[in-house]
Structure 1
Amino acid sequence: MSETDFFLYVDALKWYKQIFDRRQVSPLKGKKWLLIFTVSAAVVLSACTKERVPEKGSESPAENKPEAVEKPSYPFPLTGLLSEEKPNHRAIAVMINNHPKARPQSGLQKADVVIEALAEGGITRFLAVFQSEFPERIGPVRSARDYYIRLAKGFDGLFVFHGWSPEAKKLIESQYIDSLNGLFYDGTLFQRVAFRQAPHNSYISYKNILKGAEKAGCDLDTPPAPYRFLSGGETVEGEDVRSVAVSYSTDDFLVRYEYDPAAEKYKRYSGGAQTVDYDTGDPVLLDNVLIVEMDHAPLNDGSGRIAIDLESGGRGYLLQKGKMRKIRWENVNGRIVPYDGTEQARLVPGKTWINIVPAPMENVLSVPAQ
């Protein structure tokens, strides 16, 4: 008998006693009444108990299982890929060395966006922008140029570099952008590796970037503005093109992209070798390749440095899903953005590589790759 049934039974006995007292029933009749009441109460309580105990198998398995709660998903602003948590992390933009003696680099495969442009002497460097994921180690880190700084500002990123040109120095010292300079943290936040020689051996870990940002009082909680991305039902338009080559100068800086239909991604090659991560061997795999032409002009500073026009907009090509189409690029709040007519072109969710090439692009672009 449950606790509830017991109290019901006690209440019933009290009720019977009140009736017995009022009627002044004789002891003999009282015993008879008590017997009748006891049997009746037992039957009633038994019935109540049966009603409260469910029969075996009466409940369906679905009733016993808790309802599934659908987890919310949030798109990363630079890749469009989904996360279970709000991606409230500031972008980190790192200057990466691309000299043949600096290859293969560390961390490029985790960058959301990489921008490749000429520095001087026909050599390119990378601005690698991280927001959705971060490698353990990044490098080799190299010196800044003013146009890379302006491109990093377009992502409102924390700019990480090691050294600067005179133009870049002026921009950094004007507090144009939050930054970490390896010149001031060489051997502390930035480490020199033994397997490479200077100036191709400066590396920084993600942990040390966080330490440096905290020391400098830099905000790391504000994500960049998002790109626009294709939805699941939208298709990519353009001409079928499986390979494209960009020749910046010598064969060491001949870049080739090859589309892999099985992976639905682009593989990148530089100087004839596939671009992979030094530490893991993982290849750089891309979902969008954007090639844009810009006017380049010498600074005549005796060092071969150049100026690149990031503002005027111009022609370009966008490669997605094995297709290639003409676009125009515009500078939107410091960021290079592709346009189809008057509408911003939508990117395939995933990683993007942007090649800035001297105008006219026909001098450096080969379709298909040669």
Structure 2
Amino acid sequence: MNQNSEAMKRSRRVTVRIVAAVIPVLLLAACTAEAPRPTASIKPTSTAKAWVSTYTAPAATVLAPLRGTPVPPGSAAHPSLAVKIDNHEAARPQIGLESADIVFEELVEGGITRYVGVWHSDIPKLIGPVRSIRPMDPDIITPFGGIVAYSGGQPQFVKAMEATPVVNAVFDYDRSGLFYRIDTKSSPHNVVVNARTLVGRYPKLAPPRQHFAYAATAASSSAVVDGKAIRTIQTRFSTARWPSWAWNAKANYYLRSQEGAPDRNSKGAQLKATNVVVMRVGIDRRYGDVPKTTMIGSGEAWVSTGGRSLRATWVKRYPSSPISLVDGNGVTIRLAAGNTWIELVPTKQGSVQLVP
């Protein structure tokens, strides 16, 4: 029994040695075995040309501050130019008025109106007829900064305009040829200004800040979203002036008329606007026959875009403040990108009628 046990132990020891010797040999054979070579059937083959992207990144843009339209960076890095424009019958059609970013229409003596046009996005070579400054003009023009051009005015009004941070260019004082009289109109309705030359003289003046809020699309503007469909905007400043605006859906613009007749530019086309803002304003009579539109304060307004009009409130706290437009909930109103006309209609003697 003891012999058999000893023999079994020796047999197990031999078996362990054999297994220990065989395992490394098998492992080595597995590691050094040659990998199978790819067959001809799985070699890569040429099929079509490689795909090449045709995408081109859009050019960078910024918003024109007084129009809300996209423009190339750097193209708006120049000052704005405000000009007092005549609206006497003998002054029509005006020169360059159609390219203004913003136009204010204001009451002056005799019941007629004049304009304060503000140019920045597209400054024409000539603008006119240029007329004199009025007492409300410093409050209208100061927020834009830049330059103002006018023909002169009462000393107290000129002094008030010169007291603002705006650069004054005045026909009465000019000896450099910026202003001159044209032969196609009669005096005093024939003074024009070399607008591009004037702006080019002040390259270091800052561009204007953004004046109004603009929607991303015309369809998302406040008046289109929340307003009512209005076909015609009829305003009356006096018995002598009753301008109106008619929505033209095909052209996608408001078209302007004065005293019942189409109001045309110097090229014969009817004046047009993307946005029409009517502000009801008080008239200060401290200067006798020269009315002063009250621009500091607040009042009722209507904002019209895309054939729809929205009742609003306008607010201007200081002479340097831009005009703020808010809806009935106090939310800032967004205009459509494009030019804007602002009708400063007197509260008492003036009137506004919106015709569906």
TM-score band by shorter chain is 0.7 to 0.9
Partner of 1:20: none
Structure having the larger proportion of residues in helix: 1
Aligned to 1:22: none
| Alignment partner of 1:365 out of 337, 347, 352 | 352
CA–CA distance in structure 2, aligned partners of residues 97 and 219 of structure 1: 29
* Counterpart-to-counterpart distance in 2, 1:129 and 1:145: 16
Determine which of 332, 335, 338 is the counterpart of 1:344: 332
Q: Which residue of 2 aligns with 1:231?
A: 216
**Match runs of 1:97-246 below 5 Å:** 97-185=86-174, 188-210=177-199, 213-214=201-202, 219-232=204-217, 234=220, 235-246=224-235
In the alignment, is residue 320 of structure 1 matched against residue 305 of structure 2? yes
Q: Any idea what the Cα deviations from partners look like across 1:299-355, whole Å, max 9, x if unmatched?
A: 254xx1122221110111111111112100001543222111322211111111001
* Offset at residue 84 of structure 1 (A): 2.4
Q: Do structure 1's residue 334 and structure 2's residue 324 form an aligned pair?
A: no
Distance 2:342 2:175 in 1: 30
SS at match of 2:213: coil
Deviations, residues 267-303 of structure 1 (Å, cap 9, x unaligned): 011133322221x2333221111111111022254xx
Residue 182 of structure 2 aligns with an amino acid whose one-letter code is: V
Gaps of 5+ in 1: 1-53
Where 1:344 maps in the other structure, the secondary structure is coil
C-alpha separation between the residues in 2 aligned to 1:113 and 1:161?
Answer: 17
Which residues of structure 2 form unaligned runs of 5+? 1-44
Output the CA distance in 2 between the equivalents of 1:345 and 1:209: 33
Tell which deviates more after alignment, 350-359 or 229-238.
229-238
**How many residues of Structure 1 are paired with residues of Structure 2 in the alignment?**
305
Aligned mates of 2:107, 2:94 — CA distance in 1: 17
Cα distance in 2, alignment partners of residues 186 and 123 from structure 1 = 31
Structure 1 residue 127: deviation in Å? 0.5
1:59 partnered with 2:49: yes
Note the aligned Cα RMSD (angstroms): 2.4
CA distance in 1, matches of 2:197, 2:120: 16
Does 2:247 match 1:247? no
> Which residue of structure 2 lines up, in the alignment, with residue 84 of structure 1?
72
In 2, Cα distance between equivalents of 1:250 and 1:368: 20
Report the Cα distance in structure 2 between the residues aligned to 1:173 and 1:155, rounded to whole angstroms. Answer: 15
Distance change >3 Å, CA 195–CA 292, structure 1 → 2: same
Residue 78 to residue 174, structure 1, CA distance change in 2 (3 Å): closer
Aligned: 1:291 with 2:278: yes
* TM-score normalised by L of structure 1: 0.76
1:58 is displaced (CA, Å) by 5.1
Secondary structure of 2:335 counterpart: coil
Percent same amino acid among aligned pairs? 25
1:309 equivalent among 264, 277, 294 = 294
After superposition, give the CA deviation of every residue in 1:202-249 in whole Å (9 maximum; x if it has no partner).
0012233135x44xxx73342323421112362432121100211112
Distance in 1 (CA, whole Å) between partners of 2:301 and 2:140 is: 17
Q: Quick one: which of 262, 269, 272 aligns to 2:260?
A: 272
Q: Which of the numbers 259, 262, 283 marks the counterpart of 2:250?
A: 262
Summarize the Cα distance change of 1:334–1:120 in structure 2 as closer, same or farther, 3 Å threshold.
farther
Question: Secondary structure, in 3 states, of the residue corresponding to 2:226?
Answer: coil
Alignment partners' CA distance in 1, 2:168 and 2:181: 19
SS where residue 199 of structure 2 aligns? Answer: helix
Letter matched to residue 309 of structure 2: M
- Structure 1 pair 281–220 and aligned structure 2 pair: CA distance change class (3 A): farther
Note the C-alpha offset of 1:260: 0.4
Q: Are the equivalent residues in 1 in contact too, given 2:237–2:351 (CA < 8 A)?
A: yes
| Letter in structure 2 aligned against 1:309 | T
Look up the match of 2:60: 72
Amino acid in the other structure paired with 1:290: V
CA contact (8 A) 1:265 1:285 kept: yes
- For 2:155 and 2:199, how far apart are their aligned partners in 1? 27
Q: Report which of the two structures shows the higher radius of gyration computed on alpha carbons.
A: 2
Q: 1:130 to 1:180 in 2, by over 3 A?
A: same
Secondary structure at 1:313's aligned position in 2?
strand
Tell me the amino acid that sits aligned with residue 271 of structure 1.
E
